[in-house]
Amino acid sequence: MKVDVAHVSEIEKRLTVVVPQETVAEEFEQAYKELKKNVRLKGFRPGKAPQGMLEKYFKTQVEEDVITKIVKESYPQALDEVQANPVSQPKIENAGIDRDKEFSYTAVFEVRPNIEPQGYAGLSLERDSIAPANEDELAAALEGLRGTYATLKDVEGRPLALGDFGIYDLDATCEGKPYGGGPQKDFFLETADASYLPGFAAQVEGMQPGEQREFSLQLPDDFANKEFAGKKVEVTAALKSIKERVLPALDDEFARDLSPKYTSLDDLKKALAEDLDSRKRSQAEHGFKEKLYDALIEKNSFEVPRSLVDMQARNMVMETRQMLAQQGIKLESLGQNPETLIERYRGPAERQVKAALILDAIAQKEGLTVEDGDVEKKYEEIAAQYGQDVAAVKAAIDPAVLRPQILEKKAIDFITAKATLTEK
């Protein structure tokens, strides 16, 4: 087998593999043997069909099978020979196969860029200072909890009002195309909620159960879903029933209902204040990391593999879908579709991939490593964060998933220790 690699760019390679004719002939012979054992041709007993008949009816299929088998077996060996580590699936190019000739194919794939990190020592970075949760923030958190544990009761004898929840049969179209996933049965929507369609609440306010309204809504030019931005949506809404939210009383009983660890409302308030402070610290840490990423990206310019950006964008869409699902919302009900979101997330995804590649390069240059003890500590942190047993966390999360995260954190800590920090 002959192997040659061409460097198309810093991140794209073309691997040409030539397989000798002897190997090709052996694969054809084996493929026809297997076919002969399993195929049934009219007029011939199983295993007795002549080679000529097999070639007449199955030549194209056998050629495809042989190409697939040769590529599958030779591609990993070729990568080892040239010491290439792809980050994408290969695009295979070939001009067909002949059992009496050598077979060649080309695999085009992306690799990680070779980064020599610059400018990461002595950065000037700004970090937000943290103020303890104040009374207004605590009050807002308590109201949020009440809203979360509110109950819904049926409304009779009055029309739909702002703040109510309506259950609709909906059909919305935009220039003849379905909007929001097409017709929706028993669609549950808060009347004050503008996420479905801006202006929808004003059009349905005052409806009575059993009433149907038809109306048009003009979407703004800056509407999140660019496919529908600036266009008119035709809506048919049939209100089936109305529900209103009933908030629980804010007292000791409410606190005890939330968790046995709270014996009074004061216990709940204390825990909420601690949680708010923890969130503030997390937000400040996130903001600090974003500034650090900006500084590193500004000082390190390189081409990013598109396959890594695509993967990150798809992960972001998956996270968005999961987050919405936890709230009982379907992505499509917001007038979004995965492919549109992937395009919208491509910019942020590329930024995240760039930052990750730079931090990994810094870790390699500085000899930072992840020890077994680091992984164990991370498992313990996750278990404490979610109130789970460490063994259960270990069973759910492969250590290979944690190691890159730990290494990135070590690189960030290394950079931070050498930076000039200013508190804001």
3-state DSSP assignment of residue 169: strand
Q: What is the pTM of this model?
A: 0.71
CA pair distance 101, 103, nearest whole angstrom: 6
Q: How far is CA 122 from CA 59, 322, 414, in A?
A: 66, 39, 11
Nearest in space to 115 (alpha carbons), one of 413, 333, 348, 365: 365
For 114-150, write each residue's pLDDT tens digit.
Answer: 999 999 999 999 999 889 999 999 999 999 999 889 9
CA pair distance 291, 247, nearest whole angstrom: 41
pLDDT at 193 over 70: no
CA pair distance 94, 96, nearest whole angstrom: 6
| pLDDT value, residue 47 | 65
Neighbours of 292 (CB within 10 A): 21
For 222-260, write each residue's pLDDT tens digit.
Answer: 887 778 889 999 999 999 999 999 999 999 999 999 999
Residue 175 · residue 253 · CB < 8 Å: no
| pLDDT value, residue 195 | 66
| pLDDT value, residue 36 | 79
Residue 198 · residue 215 · CB < 8 Å: no
Q: What pLDDT band is residue 20 in, cutting at 50, 70 and 90? A: very high
Mean local confidence (pLDDT), 10-37: 93
CA pair distance 198, 220, nearest whole angstrom: 8
Mean local confidence (pLDDT), 11-16: 96
pLDDT at 65 over 90: yes
| pLDDT value, residue 153 | 94
DSSP H or E run through 42: none
Nearest in space to 11 (alpha carbons), one of 87, 79, 76, 80: 87
Superfamily of domain 2-110: Trigger factor ribosome-binding domain (3.30.70.1050)
pLDDT at 25 over 90: yes
Residue 134 · residue 40 · CB < 8 Å: no
CA pair distance 144, 378, nearest whole angstrom: 31
For 68-99, write each residue's pLDDT tens digit.
Answer: 999 999 999 999 999 999 999 999 999 899 99
CA atoms within 13 A of residue 186's CA, in its CB half-sphere: 0
| pLDDT value, residue 43 | 63
| pLDDT value, residue 329 | 81
Q: What is the rounded average pLDDT for all residues in the chain?
A: 92
Q: Take residue 42 and report the two structure tokens written for it.
A: 């009219």
Q: What pLDDT band is residue 45 in, cutting at 50, 70 and 90? A: low
For 141-184, write each residue's pLDDT tens digit.
Answer: 999 999 889 999 999 999 999 989 999 999 999 998 888 778 98
- CATH code for the structural domain at 279-423: 1.10.3120.10
Q: Take residue 345 and report the two structure tokens written for it.
A: 């997330």
Nearest in space to 139 (alpha carbons), one of 268, 307, 320: 268
- CATH code for the structural domain at 151-246: 3.10.50.40
Q: What pLDDT band is residue 375 in, cutting at 50, 70 and 90? A: very high
Spell out the domain ranges in the chain. Answer: 2-110, 151-246, 279-423
| pLDDT value, residue 213 | 96
